[in-house]
Amino acid sequence: MKHFTLLPEAANGLRKALLYRLLFMTGIVVTVVFIVPMVLSGETSFNLSSGITLILLSIILAVVYKLGLKRMKRMLSTYKLTITEDSVTREIKNMPTLCIPVSEIQRISRNADGSYTIAGKSALNAIGIPPLVERRAELELMLEAIKPMTVKTNTSLWLKYQYFIILIVLGAMYGTYMVENRYVATTLGVAFLAVMGYSWFVQQRSKNVSNRTRLFSYLMIIPVISVIERLIKLWTE
């Protein structure tokens, strides 16, 4: 039995990644809440209420960034990978323990960013190993002994285009309200509902999602109900 944890510097890349995500989401909120209404109404300047809202949004962004970074660092510090003759197990605080029997491992790959992926029968519950893992050479030898390793040189489509995909999904939701043609609006609404339903299913079934994230995923019902209500109105009025 061998145990592997992450190097202390594994958390160094969290700041930039988390900041990019928060700035991206903030940009979307500012565009939808402020810029688009201004363009539609013909206004050319922010009023006092908008300025106060932007200040509050900046404060919230700073707080979320600090708390999120602290939580992610704490989770990485508890990461533990255990390899035995019979199984590979990943443990992280506040996340379900993920164990894949060696007999069920279908693929082990080294990804373009230096991380590793161990995939079993369930695509949702693959074990991810960050690149800054301790005793990396020893780990790679043990993984090779379990199954020949596949080397990937390209980044996955989701990681490469994740922000663009998110924009498309949000655009579909926004278009459901803005488009007057009920056929087009319905197409956009159904596409949005399908993506939200699939996303909720993945978050509930995957053991790579924290318990907190799984709990907060129930908030997705708010935009789902809103879009359903909009579609009903389109076809009944």
DSSP 75-142: HHHT-EEEE-SSEEEEE-TTS--EEEEGGG--EEEE-TTS-EEEE-S-GGGPEEE-SSBTTHHHHHHH
If you compute the radius of gyration of the chain from its CA atoms, what whole number of angstroms results? 22
Work out the mean pLDDT of the chain and round it to a whole number: 82
Separation between Cα atoms, residue 145 and residue 108, nearest integer Å: 11
pLDDT mean over 82-105 = 90
Separation between Cα atoms, residue 26 and residue 101, nearest integer Å: 42
Place of tokens 């389109």: 234
pLDDT mean over 83-112 = 90
Q: What is the pLDDT of residue 22?
A: 73
What predicted TM-score, i.e. pTM, was given to this entire model? 0.73
pLDDT at 194 over 90: yes
Confidence of residue 71 (pLDDT cuts 50, 70, 90): confident
Place of tokens 């979307």: 28
pLDDT at 141 over 70: yes
List the beta bridge partners of residue 109: 117, 150
- CA 77, distance to chain mean position in Å, is 20
Separation between Cα atoms, residue 192 and residue 223, nearest integer Å: 10
Confidence of residue 82 (pLDDT cuts 50, 70, 90): very high
> Torsion angle, CA of 200/201/206/211, rounded to 10 degrees?
40
